[in-house]
Chain A
Amino acid sequence: MADNADITFSKPLTGLIREDRSPLTLKEYRAGGGYRGLEKAAKKMSPDEVLEEVKASNLRGRGGAGFPAGLKWSFMPRDDKAPRPRYLVCNSDEMEPGTFKDRLLMEGNPHQLIEGMACTAYALGAEIAFIFLRAEYSVAAANISAALKEAYDAGYLGSNILGSDFSLELHLHTSAGRYICGEETALINSLEGKRANPRAKPPFPQVSGLFGQPTVVNNCETLCNVGHIIDKGADWFKSLGLGSDSGTKIMGVTGNVKRTGLWELPMGTPIRELFEGCAGGMADGYSLRGFLPGGASTDFLLPEHLDLAFEYDVIGKAGSRMGTASLILLDDKTCPVAMVRNLTHFFAQESCGWCTPCRDGLPWSEQILDRIERGQGSMEDLDTLAWHTQFMAPGNTFCALAPGAAEPIQSALKYFREDFERHIKEGTCPWH
């Protein structure tokens, strides 16, 4: 048991997860220190104390935006007069291209998520919670369902949890596709059985969310941290980070590297350590031209950025976003125009169609990129593309889908402009 305790001290999220991802049973999870956080919260702490602990830990949202979780929770009305029921929703709609971290957490250790959600619901005074899971994650669905049954039977869910007056119903909802469901207000509409169009904010979900009731939506990885923070304390969580951000982060690398995969590393780890130390650098015969640091909806960075600390503000200052911390690599054998066309096709297809810059701007951008890639573009097309990225900028759209979609386009125009121009001048794709 001592070994397990050590593992969860430095790698709280993945330390217990087996290589083959077969799920930890309740017994195994408990043997590794599982449910100590919930025991402590329900038996020894008030909801406010749990919330303050998470606030003090500086846990930031792991779904991509990096918003402080404790602060998000504090916007929910929690006094005696606050409306009931109140809801907690786990966003497990992981559909950001290049991102596959929540899947590992749910397949390998579903109890960790259940414990994190129970602690969070305790802090919020929420009595009903949902895990909103993307349809394709059928292994995760089966493992979560089995773990839910175990947790209900053991008294970690249901009425009067661990003898306290705290009760929580937790349901698994499996979705039916569409990237837009990951946007929190669209997710709420989807959970109500509607089309997943985003809602206007304000009112924010904490005030009026699911079925008009106070609702907090957090990402799966964010919630998985909560039990550990309650168990081991905010100071421990802060000490894990190497820079200004707290905790660890599951980071991924995909593309033509020696080893693709996921690694749990301290926040603030230099990107180079992930790229070279963990992924082994580029595969033989390939060299690195650039990378999307945090999933498909983030701006390209260049090899010169590899020595940056992988944390929210540092990546933000470099002109991109940490996002989901999943590196998508552009190698020298891949055409940057074709890659951006592929990304833009995804966003155009996944637009919910609710607002104009997204519904019309993205297909238009895809057509331009397609024309350039086929060698039929003009120099004016580059200006039109840049113009679209401005129309899709934050503040011009209903939600963050189109601004995210604009990020790889605008940064490719900045860093790989010569490649775009070569397509136009040579009348063909130089990679063909």
Chain B
Amino acid sequence: MANHRLPNHDIISLSAVERREIEAECRHYPKRQAAAIEGLKVVQKHRGWVSDGSIQALAKFLEMPVGELEGVATFYNLIFRQPVGKHVIMVCDSVCCWVKGSDPLTQHIGNRLGIKPGQTSEDGLFTLLPIVCLGDCDRAPTLMIDGQQHGHVDADKLDQLLLELEPEIQLMEVSDG
């Protein structure tokens, strides 16, 4: 199944654990393809992101065309088609959090880590992404780190959260004014 349009040809094989977890999802549906999104999430859970090789292996496992699975994978924003950092920070940029200062908060995080939204820090520890409304609007501004939500976040709380995750890191000096 050579595909010259894909940059890497490392057709991986799914691990036994991945196959078991995806198979459990397949059982909920009359067609294996219906487990595509859950399958992508399983792969991402174990590997951190979904590579071209993973797409090919998963498509084969789900008995669906590679191209179609690629179309699904790129549609959903929480499927990562590029490697991400050890920690993924997602800051809500929707209206309620915006009113309560999500823009300066995002800027503060970026300054602290030396990255812009969409980037990963050079040490590979943090990826910063914008995210739509997290449904936690009464605690705005909110963000999610590694799947866990935090509300009423300000610059001090954010610094504390970063240091709890990675006590060794040197936060860059910033002037948020």
Residues of A bordering B, CB below 8 Å: 94-100, 102-103, 130, 134-138, 171, 173-179, 190-196, 211, 252-256, 260-262, 296, 326, 328-329, 331, 334, 339, 342-343, 345-346, 349-350, 352
CA distance A343 to B99 in the complex (A): 11
- Nearest first, the 6 A-B pairs at minimum CB distance are A193-B36, A176-B76, A260-B138, A97-B133, A97-B94, A177-B78
* CB-CB nearest in chain A for B98: A342
13 A-B pairs (CB sep. < 8 Å): A95-B135, A136-B147, A173-B28, A178-B75, A178-B77, A191-B34, A192-B34, A193-B72, A256-B99, A260-B137, A260-B139, A339-B95, A339-B98
| B94 A346 Cβ-Cβ under 8 A | yes
Given contacts A173-B38, A331-B99, 6 further A-B contacts (CB under 8 A): A97-B133, A100-B137, A103-B135, A135-B41, A193-B34, A339-B98
Q: Which of A171, A254, A331, A334 contacts B28 (CB 8 A)?
A: A171
| B94 A296 Cβ-Cβ under 8 A | yes
| A254 B96 Cβ-Cβ under 8 A | yes
Contact A296 to B34, CB < 8 A, known contacts A98-B133, A100-B137 = no
Q: B165 at interface (Cβ–Cβ under 8 A)?
A: no
B31 proximity list for chain A (CB < 8 A): 192-193, 211
Q: B115 at interface (Cβ–Cβ under 8 A)?
A: no
CA distance A338 to B79 in the complex (A): 30
B148 proximity list for chain A (CB < 8 A): 138
Output the least CB separation between B46 and chain A (Å).
15
CA distance A96 to B135 in the complex (A): 8
B79 proximity list for chain A (CB < 8 A): 176-177
Contact A328 to B138, CB < 8 A, known contacts A98-B133, A99-B133, A177-B78 = no
* CB-CB nearest in chain B for A196: B75
CA distance A176 to B81 in the complex (A): 13
Output the least CB separation between A149 and chain B (Å).
14
B78 proximity list for chain A (CB < 8 A): 135, 176-177
B68 proximity list for chain A (CB < 8 A): 194
Output the least CB separation between A117 and chain B (Å).
15
Q: B13 at interface (Cβ–Cβ under 8 A)?
A: no
Q: Which of B33, B96, B135, B147 contacts A328 (CB 8 A)?
A: B96
CA distance A331 to B136 in the complex (A): 20
A191 proximity list for chain B (CB < 8 A): 34
Interface membership of chain B positions 81-99, coded 1 if the CB is closer than 8 angstroms to chain A and 0 otherwise: 0000000000001111011
A334 proximity list for chain B (CB < 8 A): 99
Q: B132 at interface (Cβ–Cβ under 8 A)?
A: yes
Q: Which of B33, B37, B140 contacts A254 (CB 8 A)?
A: B140
* CB-CB nearest in chain B for A342: B98
| A339 B99 Cβ-Cβ under 8 A | yes
| A176 B41 Cβ-Cβ under 8 A | yes
| A134 B135 Cβ-Cβ under 8 A | yes
Contact A211 to B75, CB < 8 A, known contacts A99-B135, A100-B137, A254-B96 = no
Q: Which of B36, B76, B138 contacts A177 (CB 8 A)?
A: B76
Output the least CB separation between B150 and chain A (Å).
12
| A195 B33 Cβ-Cβ under 8 A | no
Q: B128 at interface (Cβ–Cβ under 8 A)?
A: no
Q: Which of A130, A194, A255, A262 contacts B72 (CB 8 A)?
A: A194
Interface membership of chain B positions 1-18, coded 1 if the CB is closer than 8 angstroms to chain A and 0 otherwise: 000000000000000000
* CB-CB nearest in chain B for A85: B30
| A346 B132 Cβ-Cβ under 8 A | yes
Output the least CB separation between B59 and chain A (Å).
11
CA distance A352 to B74 in the complex (A): 12
| A95 B33 Cβ-Cβ under 8 A | no
Output the least CB separation between B11 and chain A (Å).
21
B38 proximity list for chain A (CB < 8 A): 173-174
For window 17-48 of chain B, which residues contact chain A by CB distance below 8 Å?
A: 28-31, 33-38, 40-41
Q: B57 at interface (Cβ–Cβ under 8 A)?
A: no
